[in-house]
Structure 1
Amino acid sequence: MTIPRNELLAHFDALLQPERFKDYCPNGLQVEGKPEIARIVSGVTASRALIDAAIAAGADAIFVHHGLFWRGMDGRVTGWMKERLQRLLAHDISLFAYHLPLDAHGELGNNAQLGRVLGWQADRCFGEQDLGFIAPASFARAADLAAHVQTALARGVTLVAPEGERPIRRVAWCTGGAQGYFESAIAAGADAFVTGEISEPQTHLARETGVAFIAAGHHATERYGAPAVAAQAAQQFGLEHRFIDIDNPA
């Protein structure tokens, strides 16, 4: 079966509601391809490796979290940008990209899907634009939580465990580069915060506040939203779908 490109776009927009968010990239259709779509590939980032894999898979469209265009970037189509766009246009492949709207969706988004993988059901949101999730948890210490996250995501994590650490009864999380949400997580009553990346200030905050900080990888924490949304659309409209995970140690 096929679906008109604009009908699929309308479905994604209705599901993810990009108009609700202040974002620093265009959400929705970033590159226009063929008017009818039968096969969609999902991935985390619209890298050249993903685009090449989608071409090999015969995709009509790609659905990602990290698209091609960001506020403040150089607008010239040269180098790596030219290589990516050239491939998409030559093969008439549409590129759909949703950033913060994909993080935030309560069932299919990155945060909700990471919670599913880790066994947590959020009971509230926190932080700017309500992007952070928080849920009950039961870990004797931060090291146990870190081991759980490491096992579930099959990759190493960075743990900053404060002195005199306490049991983890409330865990907060926000995928990707959300280390700046740590203070909001502390204010929301979390005993630990899980995200993708860590910057220099978070170490000191963890030590001084008694709240553990875990960085589990930007890519590793954001692998789940794009395939969940694309799979939902594929099932609803009878499309073919394949998730292609391009390994990224970040």
Structure 2
Amino acid sequence: MSKTTTVEGAPDAGVAEGRPSTGRSTRVAAVAAAATLAIVAGYAFVAGSFTVPTSPTRPVVSEVFSPWFSQRWNVFAPNIMKVNRNLQIQVQWRDGNELVHSDWVDVTDIEFTSARGIPMPSRISKNSFNATQAMFTRYQALSPQQRDRVRDTFIRGLGDGAFEPVDAGDLLTQLDGLEGSRAAAVSYLRYDYMLVRFASAFGTAYFDRPVERVRWRIESDRPNDFLHRFDQERQTELSYITFGWRQPAAAPTDEVQAIYDEVVERYTGR
């Protein structure tokens, strides 16, 4: 005869030997809560340091977290950014003994087009946009006479069809002789030199030709006011600040050019 187990003798449902004690569960919950609190507090600290305009902790936090988390105040009123600025470049190369120049290439538009539809695009997609803002700020800090000079060419002839870039010291002397700040001139020339190298490497990769000269212009696009945002007609025409030709002191290194070749291939698919 089989033995029947009564209700009183049956084991409790869901109860197993070796079940964790209530004390251990409490400790695990406490550790999880502490870790969550630390993460939230850390995020609040970083966010607060970036979003408060003046904060004693901001310089330190900015140095560590700027590549991943940053805040620009010109996205808020009353100093909201009202003009979009694009960097456009033009380059020259040799076809035999003759210099040939390219059409204008909108580098900023190429970078932004490659990032459209991507929720978290690489920060390199804002490379030329950020460079244009920095260049424009330095340009605006110059006197009107200095601005006229930097919009001109930085190349001088040596005779017999030979040319070379104007020496940086000579350029600074020329700008010093004009009304304006020497510090502003130095700041501008440093960024001008950087853009020469950038335009040379990007142009060489984009046109697949050894670039001999470069120049750039800043396109300023002021969108229609809010009440006219759906209008097809522009309220303000595009405007340009065009800079003169520059001749790189040296061609980009093979390592640098390989990077730009890869970037242009990723942007354009060619």
TM-score, normalised by the number of residues in structure 2: 0.20
Structure ranking higher in helix proportion: 2
Give the TM-score of the pair, scaled to structure 1: 0.21
Structure holding more strand per residue: 1
Higher relative contact order (CA 8 A, sep 6+): 1
